[in-house]
Amino acid sequence: MSQDFKPWGGRFSEATDQFVESFTASVTFDQRLYHHDIRGSIAHANMLAKVGVLKPDERTRIVSGLQSIHKEIDDGKFTWRVDLEDVHMNIEARLIDLTGEVGKKLHTGRSRNDQVATDLRLYLRDAIDDLQGRTGQLLNVILDQAQQHPETIMPGFTHLQTAQPITFGHHLLAWFEMLLRDSERLEDCRRRVNVLPLGSAALAGTTFPINRQLVAEELGFDAVAENSLDAVSDRDFAIEFCAVASLMMNHMSRWSEELVLWNSQQFAFIELPDRFCTGSSIMPQKKNPDVPELVRGKTGRVFGHLMALLTLMKAQPLAYNKDNQEDKEPLFDSIDTLRDVLTAMTGLIDAMKPNIDAMRKAANDGFATATDLADYLVRKDMPFRDAHEAVGRTVAYAIDEQKSLDELTLEELRKFSTEAVDDSVFDVLTLEGSVRSRNHFGGTSPEQVRAAIARARKRIKV
Ligand code: ARG
């Protein structure tokens, strides 16, 4: 193939400006679509032969040419040429190199516009399946940790202030719920990704007697796109994926923030494994939680990609515009980032060791059972607002006395509330009594946590 070959060169009388060539090229980043591009081309050639547009032996030569190109790329022996602009034209040019005239017939009834939309959907569908597998692993690892800790007590927080005692298992299950919804969103997004654009050609369809259903079946698409203009131009499926990815990153970022806090000397709730941390070049005592910090940090780029794609699309008239070439890098980077983040979180959650004593002590020091005392007074017939007030004064007193609530005497407790307080109050003032009593669907009691874990195992679909 001569250096100045351009599949679209016919109408041009001067060579492309060197700068314009590289400015308009996408091959440096879209070459990762090669597998899906070749799959799509093989399905297209098979269909063209079935409807009689290609002769059987032409189909055979095209398909085997495409297969050897796939192997060349796999083996790193393929030369990508920027002057050939993108992955599609690089592969087509090589096909013509290998098969001669017959290779020029592959593009019959097709355009790069429906080709690239097809490639991208195939690529994203595989990426979603891979991400779902990783999400499933993380979901299971959360349950494995939770299973160890249905009774482990820690403080639950609101406003990052100790609020009420909870079980560590219950806390972990909160992250499980968020991630399970993310997984459902991925599944839902996949349904709209898995629609075939091929056959739309440049924008208006083709004059050849194509059979799009056949192509859809070969490529595993659930449906054929109904409208050719829409199919070649909209990238809402990529935007939707980035929105789902952003929500997932949002969850992973919040969770990472918690891991960073909990791993600090001040909290010391968990110990992260050495192999997931790094040291400081100047402070020898440091063991930094770089992995969760980076998960938190990488969230910004995925949010940014969502905004980039929304902005990319917002002013495009129908149908295809070259703007859409800019869809790839944000999409690819979102996929790559999310994949690594799921791997990182799975490793972290699997290996983190909770410091049970520190968690318990923090719950105990924070008057976490104050609400339990108020509820107790209500059961002794005190209106809740009065009980709230009485417990507030009790806590203030305990702070002065440097005692925890369960260290107060019956007399001290009665002084701030009612004579009706009896020995049974100490059952509710203990951390164990407190969590045990929140024993309803969705509550933090060990019994509920065990039941929730059993249900959760069955709710994982991926
Ligand atoms: N590289 C192009 C893209 O990513 C392929 C489609 C080009 N189509 C065109 N009419 N120039 O969008």
Structure confidence by residue, pLDDT tens digits, 395-419: 999 999 999 998 999 999 999 998 9
CA of 324 to the centre of ligand 1 (A): 7
Query: Which amino acid, 217?
Result: E
pLDDT band at residue 9, thresholds of 50, 70 and 90?
confident
Share the mean pLDDT of the chain: 96
Q: In this structure, are 84 and 203 located in the same domain?
A: no
**Distance between CA 351 and CA 271 in Å, rounded?**
9
Of all atoms in ligand 1, which is nearest to the CA of residue 86? 1
Tell whether 25 and 40 lie within a shared domain. yes
Name residues whose C-beta falls within 8 Å of residue 302's C-beta, 6 or more positions apart in sequence: 242, 245, 246, 249, 333, 334, 337, 338
Which residues participate in catalysis according to the annotation?
Answer: 159, 280
Q: Strand 223-224 vs strand 195-196: parallel, antiparallel, or unpaired?
A: parallel
Nearest CA to ligand 1 atom 12: 325
Distance 95 CA to ligand 1 centre (A): 19
Answer yes or no: do 104 and 121 share one domain. Answer: no
Number of domains present in the structure of the chain: 2
End residue of a domain, out of 360, 395, 430: 360
What are 256-309's pLDDT values in tens digits? 999 999 999 999 999 998 888 888 787 878 789 999 999 999 999 999 999 999
Domain C-terminal end among 339, 360, 381: 360
Question: CA dist 444 to 177, 369, 372, Å?
Answer: 14, 14, 14
pLDDT, residue 5, reads 66
State residue 14's pLDDT score: 86
Query: What token pair was written down for 456?
Result: 């959760």
CB-based burial of residue 314 (10 Å sphere; 0-12 exposed, 13-18 middle, 19+ buried)?
exposed
Nearest CA to ligand 1 atom 3: 325
What residues does ligand 1 touch, defined as CB less than 6 Å away? 26, 30, 86, 112-113, 116, 320, 322, 324-325
265 in the same domain as 137: yes
pLDDT at residue 353 greater than cutoff 50: yes
Q: Which residues contact 184 (CB under 8 A, 6 or more apart)?
A: none
Extract the tokens encoding 72. Answer: 């060349």
> For residue 12, what pLDDT is reported?
87
Centroid of ligand 1 to alpha carbon of 70 (angstroms): 21
21 and 42 part of one domain: yes
Domain endpoint, select from 340, 360, 380: 360
Same domain, 21 and 117: no
Both 258 and 124 in a single domain? yes
Same domain, 268 and 193: yes
Strand bridging mode 161-167 / 270-271: unpaired
Listed residue (223, 458, 246) closest to 341, CA to CA: 246
Output DSSP code: residue 16: P
Measure 112 CA to ligand 1 centroid, in angstroms: 6
Question: Could you identify the residue written with the tokens 């070439």?
Answer: 325
> pLDDT at position 281, please?
80
Instruction: Give the chain's length.
Output: 462
Nearest CA to ligand 1 atom 4: 325
DSSP for residue 169: H
Residues 124-178 have pLDDT tens digits of 999 999 999 999 999 999 999 999 999 999 999 999 999 999 999 999 999 999 9
Residues 120 and 104 in one domain: no
Single pTM value for the model = 0.94
Boundaries of domain holding 301: 113-209+221-360
Centre of ligand 1 to C-alpha 74, Å, is 23
Q: pLDDT-based confidence at 4, cuts 50/70/90? A: low
Is residue 54 within 8 Å of residue 105, measured between CB atoms? yes
Question: What percentage of the chain carries pLDDT values higher than 70?
Answer: 99
**What value does the mean pLDDT take over residues 188-210?**
98
Digit-coded pLDDT (tens) for 376-392: 999 999 999 999 999 99
If asked whether residues 152 and 68 sit together in one domain, one would say no
Residue nearest atom 10 of ligand 1, based on CA coordinates: 113
Q: In this predicted model, which residue has the larger pLDDT, 427 or 231?
A: 231
- Work out which ligand 1 atom sits closest to the CA atom of 112: 6
Q: What is the structure's pLDDT at 2?
A: 42
